Structure 1
């Protein structure tokens, strides 16, 4: 518990530093402007995260590739997103967070997600449950997809035509099968709702480690299901990701499989 508290303190310190740079009137003008603003925020947040997290698990290495995918070498790693939803932050939107996840042999074991604009803190540890501000979370108990809130989003910009085609086909299929479909970024801000039970399904074609690790642990520890789009157990080498209420996994897999 002491280590988790240290992780929470780190994401809060980083998040509050980035919140001080937030303004609802921010309007980047072009791609160069966007890249510059995001990088400046990332640099500030990462300095704080490194300084505060490195002593917590001294042997843990750092995943340097914020857009990286696939398996990491064995051992302990910090997988962080210094500003998850950075594109929202720099456009004056409040849907962003700071995440830090300890990954051991490619499995997330400890995570904290801080939403500076609301002050909410989501935490999870392997075998210890998932919590929002200390309150235990429980994934949805729904069993009817036609009554489900579902969602997806891009893993990263410029994913390519083939991935966009899969996203479009899947959204179209889910619009017919589910109650409501959300398409938004970042992934973590949908996954915390799946862990809370206020959203029932989230899927993503392709993956970025820093966008899924925290949410995967939160959903799993809240009693949700984490698989790939074929219903097989998800791992860091999987080509796609599905988080859902346990009673909806089979139905979601059926719909998404037909949309491939």
Structure 2
């Protein structure tokens, strides 16, 4: 088999795998939706942890069962808050309930994400939002989609007209991270049109991919919260870099996703913060 044929076969296999992953995240979403209530109100940190664990199990059981059959040799990232590069090979990186903190507070901003990483390159991803029944998908080199509509980042060229956003990667981050987040908010409030602060990151990144938000940045890195959005934005025509403007990778310690025409302007604002 020639290298060209092998590449075409791998691409076809990945496309087939993405269709299966899409079906799996939708199935997990259906199961989770049955457990969702707008009246959810956790009592304290202990109750929050218990409620998140209980819904994670529902989703993770469905994801593991199907994905382990679909790609038996692929390894599984166990730590949802893990950072940095992965060992060689194929890895499933999932967040069984992305935005679980919203779910258990009766808020609708949550979903399920599954991403395949091959030798530290993001290959494919699916993000399903059960409350709106929307599914975002991307395959490296083949574009990004919302259901059956191809996504395209915005065409804005001036930061002062931009919708921008950031958020926490996780609770209990370092004092230095909080300091830089605060300073970056002030800087962007002055430079951009509107600043949005929320979790999870993926729900802002899908909007960057769709062109309804222009920029997202984050000072810390949690793999499961960034990989899906990174591929969606890049396949929708945007750019994903670190805050210095260098190409982003799994080992980067900062993150910037933007429509291409605003990357330099955003990086100029954010690199001034030390």
Partners of 2:227 and 2:50 in 1: CA distance: 26
Partners of 1:140 and 1:73 in 2: CA distance: 35
Matches within 5 A, 1:148-163: 148-163=162-177
1:191 aligns with 2:209: no
In structure 1, stretches of 5+ residues that fail to align are none
SS in 2 for 1:98: strand
In structure 2, stretches of 5+ residues that fail to align are 1-14
1:224 aligns with 2:238: yes
- Tell me which stretches of 4 or more aligned residues in structure 1 moved more than 6 Å: none
Partner of 1:137: 151
- Deviation at residue 55 of structure 1 after TM alignment: 1.8
1:6 aligns with 2:20: yes
- Deviation at residue 245 of structure 1 after TM alignment: 0.5
SS in 2 for 1:157: coil
Partner of 1:49: 63
Partner of 1:124: 138
- Deviation at residue 18 of structure 1 after TM alignment: 1.0
- Deviation at residue 2 of structure 1 after TM alignment: 2.3
1:109 aligns with 2:123: yes
TM-score calculated relative to the size of structure 1: 0.99
1:234 aligns with 2:243: no
Partners of 1:191 and 1:112 in 2: CA distance: 13
Partner of 2:12: none
Q: Give the stretch that moved more between structures: 240-249 or 52-61.
A: 52-61
TM-score calculated relative to the size of structure 2: 0.94
Give deviations 1:46-67, integer Å, cap 9, x for gaps. Answer: 1100011112222210001111
- Deviation at residue 15 of structure 1 after TM alignment: 1.2
Partner of 1:65: 79
SS in 1 for 2:73: coil
Partners of 2:145 and 2:113 in 1: CA distance: 14
Count of residues paired in the alignment: 260
Partners of 2:108 and 2:256 in 1: CA distance: 25
**Match for residue 224 of structure 2 among 207, 210, 224:** 210
**Match for residue 83 of structure 1 among 97, 102, 106:** 97
Partner of 2:3: none
- Deviation at residue 259 of structure 1 after TM alignment: 2.2
Q: Give the stretch that moved more between structures: 7-16 or 166-175.
A: 7-16
SS in 2 for 1:68: coil
